[in-house]
Amino acid sequence: MPPRTAAIPAHSDVTDPAPPHRVDDCRAVGSVLARVGDKWSVLVIMLLQGGPRRFNELKRMINGVSQRMLTLTLRGLERDGLVTRTMYPTIPPRVDYALTDLGRSLAEPVKALGNWAFANMTDIEQARRAFDTRNDAG
């Protein structure tokens, strides 16, 4: 009886579930992920899920964000079509920020990512300390 061998699929037998990516596609996706993966953007999107908010309200709710960084974050989110900025002609002027339909479609995955980060923060910090201790000793 001949020895048994494992069947190795020929290259033509293996199908790639995803089409090949062009460099331009990767850059575009990277650009979007850089925006939505930014820590301030994640927090702003999570907070705007509850409805429109004013700039100073967002600033108070986001611990550690500077006025400049919040401004840049909101502008970037507005530029990407995720947030709208509505100015009301009152004295003093009132400006509200709200999620667009596109922003709302992103809110659930961002919320899940943010919740995962909050839930696992302690474990990640412990893993970092253990890694740093092992690598500082060597």
The average confidence (pLDDT) of the chain is 84
How long, in residues, is the chain?
138
pTM: 0.68
37-79 residue pLDDT tens: 788 998 899 899 999 999 999 999 999 999 999 999 999 999 9
Between CA 103 and CA 36 the distance in angstroms is 10
Angle at 41 between CA 107 and CA 25, to 5 degrees: 80
For residue 116, give the amino acid letter: W
Give the DSSP H/E element, type plus range, for residue 117: helix 101-137
Structural domains in the chain, CATH included, are 23-137 (1.10.10.10)
Nearest Cα neighbor of 103 from 29, 40, 41 is 41
Nearest Cα neighbor of 106 from 71, 80, 86 is 80
Which range, of 4-18, 58-72, 96-110, 120-134, averages the lowest pLDDT? 4-18
Please, how many CA atoms are within 13 Å of residue 100, restricted to the half-sphere of its CB?
12
